[in-house]
Structure 1
């Protein structure tokens, strides 16, 4: 099973994915590490401090990695804020966080105010969920990480994988934040 874990930077993707890998004995593909390791970017946006990712090259590399996993009974977790753009998936999990919580998390990481503002706005307007739903439809689930521990988030994802719970797109809403 291919599980994409996406969301705005700072929502807990890496932490939750690390926990999940242990709980369900999965392999992980970290998009940020893959982009850096294979130099899958065409340049740097100096103003925002972002790598300009070559999505075609990234997705080709991801497809090779997933294909080469020896144990096909294992789950593959693809983690990163661009993972939802990858078309090959069984389940897509969009992690969300209240913009105020997200701001605090990003400040702790030392992010610049412009980058924080841009990501908070992206979270408030639900950009990752929207894009994911456009590509993957009903495979997409949203989980709010604002007030629960990462291990609890991982348990909720396991419930989604097993079919015990569903968190459809639209169940998390931060549009009020923009008012």
Structure 2
């Protein structure tokens, strides 16, 4: 749906509201091989919206001066800044703090079951099940190729030891 610009301001009108959504049958588990993690307490069908998380955009200066020096930096997402001459994204990026479950999803390059998309206009991230997710399964996204931490799954594969998926499969998630 195209947003029309109001004639007085030449800017698109602000959206009136956005219903937030969260799949209700989730649990945060505190002690997993990856740290805290989000788990399904009931099956989740493919295509289900898991969460719509608002974001807090940081200016590049705030990010460089403050956030990069704290542990919060590891929980931020790259976020394209709007072009100064149009409403389209530019090649300049900043960081966004995700104010929902988004910062709690662990990384998995090989076993991700949740995808995410940025809604730049509304400043939210939408998380969706990429496939059917089983009860008790951890919800994982891909953080991309530039990780700021050790990928425990990749380490386990290299060392030929039991990986987090096998260990997590034994964690009992109360319903």
The alignment's TM-score, normalised by the length of structure 2, stands at 0.26
Of structures 1 and 2, the larger Rg is shown by 2
The alignment's TM-score, normalised by the length of structure 1, stands at 0.25
Q: Which has the higher contact order (CA 8 A, sep 6+)?
A: 1
More helix by share: 1
